[in-house]
Structure 1
Amino acid sequence: MKMKVMRLPHAEGLPLPAYQTDAAAGFDLVAAIAAETSVTILPGARALIPTGYIFEIPKKMEAQVRPRSGLAIKHGVTVLNSPGTIDADYRGEVSVILINHGNEPFVIARGERIAQMIVAPVTRVKLRETKKIAPTKRGKGGFGSTGIGETPSQASTEAGKSVASVSRKTKTKSPAKKR
């Protein structure tokens, strides 16, 4: 499948987004900031980083902007609205909202790979209002309800207690010791 991409003036000299391996699901997006500048994201802060490209996503498809695992594990930097959805009818520049969850400022230079984009088919459904939803074994359980301990939604319903104070009291099971 082919997809059109338009380079904006501030992306001149940057490579087209590209898959880094033959089996990669996503192609990398790079920072299209001015060559003589950089963007520093302080710990806990976020920044909107331009990519310098407009994509003509095929009908019945979408693109998702996702984090790069290396930035997340090495620096605590990730895509804030992950995955960021790019609809097929959007015709503006794709930009990436990055957040620094790390402890150190993170500096972004021109051309640095900041995120990846995956293009996938979209299934649209017709919603039909109903008075009853079929029950399941799981029921309303969510937010880690199949894992260990109390979930935030359960904790937040306790009168007068914050989620943080309840989570400190959460009991967790220790993994079985090997003999």
Structure 2
Amino acid sequence: MRQQVKVKKLNDKAILPTYGSPYSAGADLYACMDENVTIHPGETVMIKTGLAMEIPEGFAGLIYARSGLATKKGLAPANKVGVIDADYRGEIMVPLYNHSQSEVMVEHGERIAQMVITPFLTAEYFLVDELDETERGEGGFGSTGMK
């Protein structure tokens, strides 16, 4: 299934998101910078993409780490998963955190994260006095694997 997403270039050097293969769930996002940026160990740097998007109503853009960048260079989004709401029209930026013990350089045009456009449900929360019983009950944090 294809969903059209309007994209506006905020910088002439910006690169539109691309998919690595026909079956990729996430589209790669690219760094859009005038000069390379060095991210020190334990540091977070906001990396611009030079793009703004009009994500359709009922959908969200979820920003995830790229597995290669995270495992080979130690860079991943600081917020773990970024959420771009359908009404946001500002520049898409990725806060990259350096998990490694070395400085890592990010260059213009480098793939920095991946974005999945996904539908979502808006819940209506309401207060009750009791919840339905389940076999699991209140067990959490690994309780389902214990006997």
% same residue: 42
Greater radius of gyration (CA): 1
Q: Which has the higher contact order (CA 8 A, sep 6+)?
A: 2
Conserved 8 A contact 2:13-2:50: no
Question: Which TM-score applies when normalising by structure 2?
Answer: 0.90
CA distance in 2, matches of 1:113, 1:75: 12
Tell me the CA shift for residue 147 of structure 1.
Answer: 5.5
Question: Which TM-score applies when normalising by structure 1?
Answer: 0.75
Alignment of 1:2-151 (within 5 A): 2-9=4-11, 12-34=12-34, 37-146=35-144
Gaps of 5+ in 2: none
Conserved 8 A contact 2:14-2:51: no
Gaps of 5+ in 1: 149-179
CA distance in 2, matches of 1:67, 1:125: 27
More strand by share: 2
One-letter amino acid of the counterpart of residue 53, structure 2: F
More helix by share: 1
Aligned pairs, number:
144
CA distance in 1, matches of 2:28, 2:75: 15
Where 1:74 maps in the other structure, the secondary structure is helix
Q: Deviations over 1:43-87 (max 9, x none)?
A: 111111111000000011110011000011112211111210000
Provide the alpha-carbon RMSD of the alignment: 1.5
Q: Deviations over 1:80-137 (max 9, x none)?
A: 1121000000000010011111111111011100000000101111111112222333
Tell me the CA shift for residue 146 of structure 1.
Answer: 4.2
CA distance in 2, matches of 1:85, 1:101: 21
